[in-house]
Amino acid sequence: MSKLYIVPTPIGNLDDITLRAIKVLQQVDFILAEDTRTSSFLLKHLGIEKRLYSHHKFNEHATAASVAEAIGEGREVALISDAGTPGISDPGFLLVRTCVEAGIDVETLPGATAFVPALVQSGFPCDRFCFEGFLPQKKGRMKRLEELKSETRSIIFYESPFRVVKLLEQLAETFGTERKFSVSRELTKKFEQTIRGTMAEVLAHFVENEPKGEFVVVVAGADKPEKEAKKNRYPKQE
CA distance 32 to 172: 39
Burial (CB count within 10 angstroms: exposed 0-12, middle 13-18, buried 19+), residue 108: middle
Q: What is the mean pLDDT of residues 86-92?
A: 94
- Per residue in 11-60, pLDDT (tens digit) is 999 999 999 999 999 999 999 999 999 999 999 999 999 999 999 989 99
Taken in order 67, 91, 213, 123, the sign of the CA dihedral is: negative
**187, 12 in Cβ contact below 8 A?**
yes
How confident is residue 225, by pLDDT bands cut at 50, 70 and 90? confident
pTM value? 0.89
Is 211:169 a contact under the CB 8 Å cutoff? no
What number of H helices and E strands is found in the chain? 8, 10
List the one residue out of 210, 201, 150 whose CA is nearest residue 172. Answer: 201
CA distance 71 to 223: 49
At 14 the pLDDT is 94
- What is the fold of 115-219? 3.30.950
- State the CATH architecture for 4-108: 3-Layer(aba) Sandwich (3.40)
pLDDT classification of 235: cutoffs 50, 70, 90: low
- Give the gyration radius of the chain's Cα atoms: 22
CATH 3.40.1010.10 segments of the chain? 4-108
DSSP 40: H
pLDDT digits (tens, 9 = 90+) for 138-184: 889 999 999 999 999 999 999 999 999 999 999 999 999 999 999 99
Q: Do residues 106 and 50 make contact, with C-beta atoms less than 8 angstroms apart?
A: no
8 Å CB contact between 170 and 178: no
Residues of the chain with CATH 3.30.950.10: 115-219
